[in-house]
Amino acid sequence: MATTAAGALGLLWGWLWSERFWLPQNVSWADLEGPGDGYGYPRARHILSVFPLAAGVFSVRLLFERYIAKPCALHVGIQDSGPYQAQPNAILEKVFISVTKYPDEKRLEGLSKQLDWDVRKIQCWFRHRRNQDKPPTLTKFCESMWRFTFYLCIFCYGVRFLWSSPWFWDTRQCWHSYPYQPLTNGLYYYYIMELAFYWSLMFSQFTDIKRKDFLIMFVHHLATIGLITFSYINNMVRVGTLVMCLHDASDFLLEAAKLANYAKYQRLCDTLFVIFSAIFVVTRLGIYPFWILNTTLFESWEMIGPYPSWWLFNGLLLILQVLHVIWSYLIARIAFKALIRGKVTYPGRIRPRLCTLHSFLTSFLFSMPGGSWTVSSLACI
C-alpha cells in the first residue's frame, strides 16, 4: 500500500513539474540550475522564503495600524468607537439571525404585537443591529491606510527598478534569450515582496472583521498569488514586473479615495476618484492591451513560440483584460449617474459635482478587488 501511494505521489509530482508544460521545447529544469547572476534563475524553492516574510509583513501591518494609522485617523476626526449596540432582545435576534435582516411590513406588524413595541422602534432596532455587524470606520481607515502605504511604496520601487531595466523601454527584451534570463537582486526583491504582501492579506482575512466580500477577496488573493507564483516559476518575471507596476499605478489612488471618504473630505475624495478613474482607464484599456498583451501574444510568439504554459499565461492575461473592460464600464456608469444626480444648484450657476462615493466604495470596490495581478477572474474574475 505504501509503495503504491508513493508511486502515485511520484506520478503526480512529475505531472505537476512536467518540463513539457512549464518550459519551451528542448529546455529542461537542469538547464536552469546554472549560477546566472544575483540569485541565479528563478526556482520554485525560492517561494518558500515568502512565508516568513509574509508573517513579518503582517506584523509590520499590526504595528503600523496601531502606532501610525490610528493616530492619523483620530487626528482627522474619526471616532474610536464602534457602532451603536442594539438593545439585547432574544426574539428579534432570532429573527435577525435565522429569518431576515430586512423584515417586511407584515413581519414588522407581527413583531410589534408580539413584543408590544412600536413598529418604528423595531425598524430602528434592525437598523442598529445591521450596523453592529459592519466594521467601524476607524478599522476601515487603518486597513486602507496600510494598503495605500504599501501600494504607493511598491509602485515607487517598481518605477525606480523598471526605469533602469531594458525591457521597460523595449518589451522585446522580455523574451530575449528566454528562459535563460538571470534573476537580479532587485527583481527578486520586487517579486517576493509583492507575493509576501498578498500572502499576508490571506492571513489577515481570518483575523480581520469578517465582511460580506470575504469569499470574493479570498479567491482574489488566491488567484493573485497563483499568477505571481506561476510567472516566477517559469521565469516570465520580466513581463510580470510590467504587469504588477501597471496595476499598482491606480491601486494606491483607490485607497487614497477611500481614506478621504472615511475622513469625510468629500472634495478630496471626488478629486481622487476622478484621477483614479482616468488612470485606471488609460492603464487598463490603453497601455495594458497595446503594450503588455502585444508583447505576451505577438512578440513572444515571434521570438520563442507557443508552448503549454505560454497558452495558459496568455489566457489568464486575456481574462484579465475582459475584466478591465467590465470594471471600466462600471466605473464610467457609476460616475455618470453620480454626476447626473449630484448637480447642485447654487445662486447664479449650476456646479456639477460627484455625489458621495460611499455607495461606490462599498459596492463597486467589493466587486473589483484591487491588486497587482487582479485576477479574481477565476472567481468573480
Per-residue pLDDT tens digits for 36-65: 555 678 887 888 889 999 999 999 999 999
User: What pTM value is reported for the model?
Assistant: 0.78
pLDDT of residue 105: 83
Count of structural domains within the chain:
2
Per-residue pLDDT tens digits for 249-266: 999 999 999 999 999 898
Give Cα separations from 196 to 74, 208, 232, 256, 378 (angstroms).
29, 18, 13, 22, 20
Same domain for 118 and 217, yes or no, is no
CATH number of residue 116's parent domain = 1.10.10.60
Domain extent, residue 292, equals 31-76+135-340
Per-residue pLDDT tens digits for 141-187: 999 999 999 999 999 999 999 999 999 999 999 999 898 888 888 89
Which set of grid coordinates corresponds to residue 180? 535563460
Query: Pick the residue with more confidence: 178 or 28?
Result: 178
**Residue (of 235, 316, 244, 331) closest to 280 by Cα position:** 331
Same domain for 196 and 309, yes or no, is yes
Cα(317)–Cα(294) distance, rounded to whole angstroms?
11
Contact assessment for residue 366 and residue 263, using Cβ atoms and an 8 Å cutoff: no
Q: How confident is the model at residue 380 (pLDDT cuts 50, 70, 90)?
A: very low
Same domain for 120 and 147, yes or no, is no
**Residue (of 179, 187, 197) closest to 162 by Cα position:** 187
Give Cα separations from 170 to 180, 186, 210, 211, 247 (angstroms).
18, 19, 44, 43, 19
Same domain for 119 and 207, yes or no, is no
Same domain for 125 and 153, yes or no, is no
Looking at every residue in the chain, the average pLDDT score rounds to: 79
3-state secondary structure of 43: coil
pLDDT of residue 96: 75
Same domain for 122 and 207, yes or no, is no
**Burial classification of residue 331, based on how many CB atoms lie within 10 Å of its CB (0-12 exposed, 13-18 middle, 19 or more buried):** buried
Give Cα separations from 185 to 36, 131, 188, 191 (angstroms).
12, 48, 5, 10
Q: How confident is the model at residue 125 (pLDDT cuts 50, 70, 90)?
A: confident
Cα(312)–Cα(293) distance, rounded to whole angstroms?
13
Q: Is pLDDT of 109 > 80?
A: yes
| 328 contact partners, CB below 8 Å, separation of at least 6 | 280, 281, 284, 285
pLDDT of residue 60: 94
